[in-house]
Amino acid sequence: MIPDTHPADNLLRPFDGNVPGISVLLLVDGNAVYARSLGMADLERGSAVTIATNFRLASLTKQFTAVAILRLAAHGALTLDMPIASFFERTPAFWRQISIHHLLTHTSGLVDYEELIEPDAATHLCDRDVLDLVRRVERSYAAPGTAFRHSNTGYCLLALIVEQVAGQPFAVFLRDQVFTPAGMHFSAVYQGEGSVIPRRAYGYSLRDGVFVRTDQNLTNATQGDGGIYSSTIDLERWDVALASDALLPEAWRAAMFTPYVTTPSGDHYGYGWFLTNIRSERAAYHTGETNGFRTAMVRLLDRRCTAIVLANRSEAEPLPIAWALVETAQ
């Protein structure tokens, strides 16, 4: 039973009322032991946040992109050591040294596509636009496999690899091969102007003491790096799927949470997840940050304990809330 009061309630008070909101969920052994949804999903229409409200996940999307790649690998459709140049035409010579594994672990060295966007650009970029931008560039941040640097570029390219290998759009593959098997029936990928996301929250930023809608920007139509919208109730189903063979066999799930590279903070990175230790327990986590949205997810790997925090305001700090939630489950 979910308690009426909880130590984490104080952390959520700034989200209560007629302000952009938050939805949080704490799972232990697959059961919800704490759930709160506060504030507004849409200030203009007066729509409240619920456990079914879809938030833009931003970089939490990367774990889904990783699972899509690993599902293809588990079925023998690709291998993680394949050079990415084999999937794309007209690429720089050094791309032959970059593997799928390097993209998954942020060790490709590829330049961040946001550095390459023209100042007067006015239309949303898609993943293929990212490819067109970065394959013109002969420089890299580092030699492949030598250093971690968070790469939205890499995860956009992973989405394109999924499309090429699967022979269908990335959003369709996610729907049919990831969301549906996991029971995530209301999650969706934003695909640019005209894309309809059901039950969605809108993003806001605080400016001069007033919340202003700051919902989309030029990069919000890319998919592999941050394009998914989902809710706490669907992410509960995602957590259950990650703990079973619903999406990946055990060996591939273990590969996802294997530390391959050390990050500047001293933590590690697997496939779509940061990895660390908390009180001698192995933990996986990730955050997401984009126009008007902040998200976080923490999973304790040695026992079933997961915290999910989704907020639709730019100044929110969801990761400390997520860590505080798992601390209450000790």
> The CATH number of the domain where 56 resides is what?
3.40.710.10
| 306 occurs within a structural domain | yes
Q: Is the dihedral of CA 187, 78, 161, 194 positive or negative?
A: negative
| Residue 4, pLDDT above cutoff 80 | no
pLDDT value, residue 92: 96
305 vs 216, residue with greater confidence: 305
Domain residues for the domain of 214 are 9-328
CB atoms within 10 A of CB 43: 18
For 69, 72, 172, 273, 280, the CA distances from 177, given in Å and listed in that order, are 11, 10, 8, 20, 35
| 3 occurs within a structural domain | no
pLDDT tier at 158 (50, 70, 90 boundaries)?
A: very high
Cα 270 to chain centroid distance, Å, stands at 14
| Residue 65, pLDDT above cutoff 90 | yes
Task: Calculate the average pLDDT of the chain.
Answer: 95
Q: Which of 262, 315, 307 is nearest to 283 (CA)?
A: 307
How far is 326 from 306, CA to CA, in rounded Å? 7
Q: Which of 109, 103, 145 is nearest to 127 (CA)?
A: 103
| 4 occurs within a structural domain | no
How far is 100 from 212, CA to CA, in rounded Å? 39
In this predicted model, what pLDDT tens digit does every residue of 306-316 receive, in sequence order? 999 999 999 99
Average pLDDT over residues 54-72: 99
Number of structural domains, the chain?
A: 1
Average pLDDT over residues 117-138: 90
Report the percentage of the chain scoring pLDDT > 70: 98
Q: Is the dihedral of CA 42, 293, 215, 206 positive or negative?
A: positive
pLDDT value, residue 321: 97
| 131 occurs within a structural domain | yes
In this predicted model, what pLDDT tens digit does every residue of 239-274 receive, in sequence order? 999 999 999 999 999 999 999 999 999 999 999 999
**25 with 321: CB under 8 angstroms?**
no
| 24 occurs within a structural domain | yes
| Residue 1, pLDDT above cutoff 60 | no
| 68 occurs within a structural domain | yes
pTM: predicted TM-score of the whole model, two decimal places: 0.97
In this predicted model, what pLDDT tens digit does every residue of 200-233 receive, in sequence order? 999 999 999 999 999 887 888 999 999 999 999 9
Residues in Cβ contact with 285 at an 8 Å cutoff, skipping those fewer than 6 apart: 273, 274, 276, 296, 297, 298, 299, 319, 322
